[in-house]
């Protein structure tokens, strides 16, 4: 039984071009799918509404706030009842001030033991001095070398004293350390020696004139 003339099946049977099945064409199967798709219709969402009056009466306006004030009682602040602090009655303990100069070790050098403790002298200066920081490398035998000043105290005399003390200091030799050990980077100890200076007042250079005897 043949297809009815003029029907879609009859039109498809008359197609002899095989490319119509792979390419979009109004006569192929894709024509009804998307090439003849209907145009999109956009429905506007803009709309207006006639004005409406509030449903509440004028007498009920502010009722919620009045109810809040009635049910929430505000009490006076308790902070105002406390007496004000009196700073003049607060005793502050005096800060302990150093009475002499000292030093401390930082870095890996803090793990090394000093053979002889260093005795630091106080520095005479008109103002307080900051710390003198010296970076130093110590050999396995405990001998420091190549000291490098990293921070100045503000006094050239104190900085020179710090460098001389670094050159004279001796640390306890490491276990197995000797003069024939290889001079590798891991065989040396790096660290900082920080000198904290204690300052003394400079003596008066001009004494007051003596009063003549009557």
In angstroms, the CA 161 to CA 168 distance is 11
Report pLDDT for 154: 87
Report pLDDT for 179: 47
Q: For residues 8 and 2, is the Cβ–Cβ distance under 8 A? A: no
Report pLDDT for 134: 92
Percent of the chain clearing pLDDT 90 (strictly above):
2
**Average pLDDT score over residue span 140-146:** 87
**Average pLDDT score over residue span 92-117:** 82
How would CATH label the architecture of 102-200?
A: 2-Layer Sandwich (3.30)
pLDDT, greater one: 212 or 150: 150
pLDDT confidence band for 192 (50 / 70 / 90): very high
pLDDT, greater one: 58 or 26: 58
**Average pLDDT score over residue span 135-161:** 88
Report pLDDT for 63: 85
Can you read off the two tokens belonging to residue 148?
């490098």
Report pLDDT for 13: 65
pLDDT, greater one: 18 or 47: 47
HSE-up of residue 198 (Cα within 13 Å, Cβ side): 12
First to last CA, the chain: 160
Report pLDDT for 30: 63
Q: What is the three-class DSSP state of 38?
A: coil
Q: For residues 26 and 36, is the Cβ–Cβ distance under 8 A? A: yes
- The DSSP 8-state label assigned to residue 70 in this structure reads H
Q: pTM of whole model > 0.75? A: no
- The CATH 3.30.2420 domain(s) of the chain lie at 102-200
Starting at the edge strand found earlier in the chain, the sheet holding 189-196 runs: 102-107, 189-196, 132-138, 144-151
For 189, list phi and psi in degrees, rounded to 5: -115, 125
In angstroms, the CA 64 to CA 66 distance is 5
């Amino acid at each position: 039984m043949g297809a009815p003339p003029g029907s879609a099946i009859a039109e498809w049977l008359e197609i002899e071009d095989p490319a119509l099945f792979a390419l979009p064409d109004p006569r192929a199967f894709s024509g009804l799918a998307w090439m003849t798709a209907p145009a999109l219709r956009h429905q506007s969402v803009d709309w207006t509404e006639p004005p409406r009056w509030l449903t509440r009466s004028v007498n009920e306006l502010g009722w919620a706030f009045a109810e809040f004030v009635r049910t929430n009682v505000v009490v006076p602040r308790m902070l105002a009842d406390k007496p004000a602090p009196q700073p003049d009655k607060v005793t502050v303990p005096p800060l302990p001030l150093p009475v002499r100069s000292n030093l401390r070790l930082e870095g890996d050098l803090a793990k090394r033991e000093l053979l002889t403790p260093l005795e630091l002298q106080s520095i005479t200066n008109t103002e307080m001095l900051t710390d003198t920081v010296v970076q130093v490398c110590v050999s396995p035998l405990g001998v420091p070398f190549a000291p490098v000043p990293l921070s100045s105290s503000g006094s050239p005399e104190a900085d020179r004293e710090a460098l001389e003390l670094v050159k004279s200091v001796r640390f306890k030799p490491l276990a197995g350390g000797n003069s024939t050990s290889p001079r590798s980077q891991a065989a040396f100890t790096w660290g900082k020696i920080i000198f904290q200076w204690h300052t003394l007042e400079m003596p008066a250079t001009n004494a007051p004139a003596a009063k003549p005897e009557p």
